[in-house]
Structure 1
Amino acid sequence: MPTMPAPCILFLSGASLVGQNILSALAGRRTGLHLAAINSVANEPALFDFDEAFLAGNLKDDPDAFGQRFDQIIEGLQPSLVIPCRDDDVAWLAARAQARPNPALPFLCGAPGPALAMLDKAASADLSARHGLPYAATLATDTDAARLMDFAARHGYPLIAKPRQGFASRGVFLVQNDTQLARLAGRPDTILQRYLGDRAEVQAYLDGIARDGIPLFHSFEADKHALQAFIAPDGSLKGLLATRHAMRQGRSERVARNDDPTLLQLGQRCAQAFATEGWRGPLNIQCQRTPEGDYGIYEYNGRYTGATGARWLLGYDEVGMGLEHFGGIRLPESPAPHAWPDAVQRLPVSRAVEAGWVEMLERTGHWLGRRR
């Protein structure tokens, strides 16, 4: 009898940090799967950790061309599941699933409404307000200076200024005074948020700069709290983990379980709210603890994250949930350790890339590796 082809999982932006983390969570469990990736850049070592790779244009630059390339790829692969690895991928897949529903081609996402709300932080604030979730006070800067000044009067300095669409603290500024704030008036691409951290620490840091000069490397390092939920296609909550992240230069270096019932209850409320809005699949909630001891939310993501591999090591199998509930694929049981660890250290890894593989991918748009 002919052997059945291995179920194919297709990753959008597979060479990203998120894609690498998903592969890490599948280590030792990918036998019997065919893992394929689409990426806009060929010279990425992680791309060749997949079984097959395809080159496509950047989604943001030309969505129509990307869609045509996507159609070509899925026609040949017939994947059992498509997993988005970047925020833009999530919103694009959600819109496509609504425009072209196909039960035989599941995407790991939910409805386009909540997908766009997660992509746009002003819309995130609106969704949170509808459901009574403690999202940081937020104001879009596409308004006049008077409204910005009123926001500052109510919430005080410093304020956070960040891109409406962005992640990983890129393009984020601390606004300290009216002059800096007035420059943001009318900008369509920025939002203001209440600063959730300790303002006295910021002022002490600024006083030190005035006294001693500017450190070559600096950032405001505070523990970040995160929730990772998984919402099944029927809207039920299948998994929830709370973690505390020790931050260094904007990256989490240590991830530890956080069993605070208050934080876990917040995760359940968020999952219920997003499920009501039509979201399905992974849900990431970024929080910070306020000086008053409350948890304030400042960002949502509808995907796996750069800490997915760390959470797998803590015993939370969000990737397995996605494959089972959306792709109908049960991964083989992995032997559990004697005791799951309470914390995981995240370390950088040096990688090299085979020049011949990159050349082939750039020339043909396709690379096929040896079966693992």
Structure 2
Amino acid sequence: MADLHDIRLLIVSVGSLVGQNVLDSLEYNQCYRRDRVHVAGTNSIAASANNFRCDECHLVPPTAAPDYPDAMARILRQTRPDLILSARDADTAALWKLLDAHPDLPGKIPYGNLETVLCALDKGRSATFCATHGLPFADTLVLQSPDDLDALYAFAERVGYPMVAKPIEGFASQGVYFVRDAREAAYFAHHTGYLFQEFLGPGDALEPYFELLDGPKPLFAEVPGVNHYTCHIPIAPDGRIGEIFVLHNHHHFGAVTRMQRVSHPELEALARRFALAFVADGGAGPLSVQFRADRNGQFKAQEMNLRTTGSTFARLMMGQDELGFLLNEWLPEHDFPQFSRPEPAYDLVVSKSLYSYATWMNPVETLERTGVWRQAAPPQ
């Protein structure tokens, strides 16, 4: 048995739902492993209860801030992590760029290489990556100029309305809009950082929703039929592909409220093709690909990422130990315990917001004032 706290883990943006999932995976009562890991966290928001579930937490500027790289480099030198997990796509790219520029900094990140990370982060690159490898991806247009409306209208004629306008670098469906006609398309053509994508699914099913929004504004409105599948594919540093896990995500009022593991041979085979393409380009780590059927019933990817996700703990309960896989593959010398079920849990339904946590204001004020908070050492 290894000594307690034999692994030093840094969770970047630990205050997020993804950070919560990583911590919950360590504290799962059927496979408790929290005492095997010294957890350091970073966050740009002091008043987040997850910060104080760590052994130490460091306050950082927002990822896009000019002083973020220097702050993050200083924290890496202080915490000396064995492995670094990012909770947001932007963190993943920023970490890769930082470690590329400063190879002397401590810590490994289990995300393959910078090129594949950017292919997952940038949805325009995602479309190009899939086209290069012959993989089905939602038809995508990145305008070269906001005045190139002819190209936009030709694209709209090919894929049909409604389309989707989304940030080229975005996450969690933030800033995503339906585009219903040429007027709305022209409006988003002049929004910097946006691209256009075909809507995957039957567009006519959205008509009652659009009619509702065009009348008196409802207090709550739900987009019908936007459930999706996500395939989670663990890829080892040497390119080995682990067990493919297919998750069916059910949405209500814009949020995933139900997740269930499903057996889906067609999507499993398609996900393996995506994994092999990432491996060919040097990719590794926790690959996930979101799929929906297009208007002709053909499955296409609509998003990819290379990081732990908001379903990491739910999948652990259903039988996929993503955290155990990463720690064992990138830090094999630590022989980290892995959780497994005798049989896959296909009948287990999990909600996305798994627990609530609380903290007193004293540690929050300490983190705000000093930029760092640490657990008090236990009495001798």
TM over 0.5: yes
Q: Summarize the alignment of residues 78-227 of structure 1 with structure 2, pairs less than 5 Å apart.
A: 78-101=80-103, 105-143=107-145, 144-207=148-211, 213-221=216-224, 222-227=226-231
- Equivalence for 2:337: 332
User: Deviation of residue 334 (structure 1)?
Assistant: 4.6
* 2:357 pairs with one of 348, 351, 361: 351
Unaligned segments of structure 1, at least 5 residues? none
**CA–CA distance in structure 2, aligned partners of residues 365 and 96 of structure 1:** 21
Moved over 6 A (4+): none
Task: Give the SS at the match of 1:367.
Answer: strand
Contact kept in structure 2, 1:88 and 1:119, CA below 8 Å: yes
Q: 1:202 to 1:233 in 2, by over 3 A?
A: same
What do the CA deviations read for 1:156-203 (whole angstroms, capped 9, x no partner)?
Answer: 110001111111111111111111112223443101000111111112
User: Deviation of residue 205 (structure 1)?
Assistant: 3.0
- Aligned-residue sequence identity (percent) comes to 33
Contact kept in structure 2, 1:98 and 1:111, CA below 8 Å: no
Contact kept in structure 2, 1:14 and 1:20, CA below 8 Å: yes
Structure 1 stretch displaced more, 297-306 or 362-371: 362-371
Unaligned segments of structure 2, at least 5 residues? none
Task: Give the SS at the match of 2:84.
Answer: strand
Contact kept in structure 2, 1:142 and 1:185, CA below 8 Å: no
User: Deviation of residue 90 (structure 1)?
Assistant: 0.8
Q: 1:207 to 1:69 in 2, by over 3 A?
A: closer
What do the CA deviations read for 1:261-320 (whole angstroms, capped 9, x no partner)?
Answer: 110011101111111112111111111123433211111111111111111111000110
Matched residue type, 2:16: S
Q: Summarize the alignment of residues 180-329 of structure 1 with structure 2, pairs less than 5 Å apart.
A: 180-207=184-211, 213-221=216-224, 222-328=226-332, 329=334
Q: 1:163 to 1:334 in 2, by over 3 A?
A: closer
Alpha-carbon RMSD across the aligned residues, in angstroms, is: 2.2
Q: Determine if the alignment matches structure 1 residue 360 to structure 2 residue 366.
A: yes
- Equivalence for 1:29: 33
User: Deviation of residue 24 (structure 1)?
Assistant: 1.1
Structure 1 stretch displaced more, 332-341 or 32-41: 332-341
Q: 1:217 to 1:196 in 2, by over 3 A?
A: same
Contact kept in structure 2, 1:106 and 1:327, CA below 8 Å: no
**CA–CA distance in structure 1, aligned partners of residues 223 and 377 of structure 2:** 46
**CA–CA distance in structure 2, aligned partners of residues 258 and 339 of structure 1:** 9
Matched residue type, 1:93: L
**CA–CA distance in structure 2, aligned partners of residues 257 and 366 of structure 1:** 39
Contact kept in structure 1, 2:89 and 2:307, CA below 8 Å: yes
What do the CA deviations read for 1:39-61 (whole angstroms, capped 9, x no partner)?
Answer: 11111011111111111111211
Equivalent pairs, count: 367
Contact kept in structure 1, 2:319 and 2:340, CA below 8 Å: no
**CA–CA distance in structure 2, aligned partners of residues 4 and 136 of structure 1:** 47
Matched residue type, 2:11: F
Q: TM-score, normalised by structure 2?
A: 0.90
Task: Give the SS at the match of 1:165.
Answer: coil
